[in-house]
Copies of this chain bind each other. A is one copy, B any other.
Amino acid sequence: MSTPAAAVRATSAAARKEARLEHRRQRLLSSALELFAERGYEETSVGAIVAHARMSKSAFYEHFTSKEHCFREVLMVEGGELIQDVLTTAARGHNHHERLRLGITRFVVACFERSTVARLLIVESVGLSASVDRVRHEVQGRFAEAVGEEVRHAMLHDAFYADKDPAVFGRAVVGAVNEAVSYFLTHPGADAESLAASLCRIFAP
C-alpha cells in the first residue's frame, strides 16, 4: 500500500479505468446486438462488430473469450432484461388471470418494441450450439416457469386450468408467443396489441 493520498488517486484512476472499460463493453454489446439481429450470427464477423463499435479486435478479446461468448453475453443481458420487464409487469396483476394476461401482453409488446432483442431470443439463438441453447432455454424458461407456477395455483379454483399440466402449459405459452411474434413481425401491418389480445383469449380466457 502507498500513502493515503496516493491510494485515493490510485483508486479514482482505477475507478475511471473501470468505468471506461465498462463503457466500451457496453458499446461492444450494443453493436453486437444490432449486427447479430440484422445479419444473423454466422454472417456477422468479429471484424464487423468492432468496426461498428469503432474499436479494435484486442478490445473485443479483452471482454470476450470468443465470438460465441459475446453472443451468449448479449443474449443473457438483453434477453434477461426483457424477461425481467415482463415478469415485473405481470406481477402487478391482482389475480391469476390478470397476471397471465399482463405477462403475455407485455411479452408480445416488448418483442415488437425491442425487435432486435426479440430476433436474437426467438430466431438467431436457435440451434447455434449447445451452450447458446442453454442460455436461451434458461432465459425463456424463467417466463415459462412463471406461467407454470401461475397455472399451478389457478388450477385449484379455476375450472379452465384444472386439467392442465403446468409445465407443458408454460412451455406451450412460450412457444406460441414466440411463433406468433416471429410470424407477425415479418408480416407487415401486424398490431402488437391485437395479437396479444388474441393470444390472451387462447391462454387466459
Contact = CB atoms under 8 A, between A and B. Distances in A.
Given A42-B42, A176-B175, A178-B175, A168 B127 contact: no
Given A171-B179, A175-B177, A164 B202 contact: yes
Interface string A122-150: 01101100000000010000000000000
B179 A174 contact: yes
A195 B173 CA distance: 14
A183 interface: yes
A34 to B, nearest CB: 16
A188 B39 CA distance: 34
Contacts of A180: 168, 171-172, 175
A33 to B, nearest CB: 15
27 contacts: A40-B127, A41-B127, A42-B42, A123-B126, A123-B127, A124-B127, A126-B127, A127-B127, A137-B183, A163-B201, A163-B205, A164-B201, A164-B202, A165-B198, A165-B201, A168-B198, A168-B199, A168-B202, A169-B198, A169-B202, A171-B179, A171-B183, A172-B199, A175-B176, A175-B177, A175-B180, A179-B179
Interface of A: 40-42, 123-124, 126-127, 137, 163-165, 168-169, 171-180, 183-184, 195, 198-199, 201-203, 205
